[in-house]
Amino acid sequence: MIELLSGLLLLIVGAELMVRAAVRIAARLHIRPLIIGLTIVALGSSAPQMAVSLQATLAHNADIAVGSVIGSSIFNILVTLGLSALIIP
Q: Which of 21, 76, 26, 67 is nearest to 46 (CA)?
A: 76
pLDDT by position in tens, the chain (length 89)? 898 899 889 989 998 998 899 899 989 999 988 888 888 888 877 888 888 888 999 999 888 888 888 888 898 889 989 988 998 87
Q: Are 35 and 13 in contact (CB under 8 A)?
A: no
Which pLDDT score is estimated for 83?
A: 87
User: What single-letter amino acid sits at 59?
Assistant: A
pTM of the model: 0.57
